[in-house]
Amino acid sequence: MFLYIALALYRLFESVHKGLATQLVLLVAISIPIMFLNVVNHLATLVLVSPPSFLSGFTKSQLDSLAYFFIRLHGEGIGVVEVFWGLWLVPFGLLVYRSGFLPKFLGVLLLIAALGNILRAIVSLFPGASSLDPLANVLSLGELPIIVWLVVPGAKEKPAPAPAAA
């Protein structure tokens, strides 16, 4: 679904700036396989909590520890992909700002949300930066207004100028 959203945004913004619209799609496309790969950590957890016979050499506490490890590893994977979730908002925000058919403040909020997501990735990848987490969460909320705007009022086309009276 995320890729379809990116492709729809590409069609919406390609006339604004084709290069930025392409960057938006590429950054989304890079994040998708990372997320799919990260789901393997959840699958590993499921295998470990209902162990097949080939895992009978491990004790219950060892399997539980491994399951917990893969759950934690999934969280670390989210931190990696969050970098791309922040980066794709940069071209998106610039496109909204330049578009002329969406309010500029939405573009500014997307750029702020990009900073928030990148800060969240830093917090996730570097636990010593946990004091930035509340700020990152607040900044990330800048993503919500564009969602509401595109769903409720939508991107309106400018009406064509009336033909000159002869």
Full domain range(s) for residue 118: 2-151
In a domain, 117, yes or no: yes
Which DSSP category does 152 fall into?
T
Residue 155 pLDDT more than 60? Answer: no
pLDDT tens across 57-101, in order? Answer: 888 899 999 999 999 888 888 878 888 888 999 999 999 999 988
- Residues 37-56, mean pLDDT to the nearest whole number: 87
User: Cα(140)–Cα(114) distance, rounded to whole angstroms?
Assistant: 7
The model's pTM is: 0.77
Residue 151 pLDDT more than 80? Answer: yes
**Cα separations in angstroms, 1 against 25, 32, 42, 56, 163:** 13, 10, 20, 39, 41
Q: What total of structural domains would you count in the chain?
A: 1
In a domain, 30, yes or no: yes
In a domain, 87, yes or no: yes
The residue length of the chain stands at 166
In a domain, 163, yes or no: no
pLDDT tens across 4-29, in order? Answer: 999 999 999 999 999 999 999 999 99
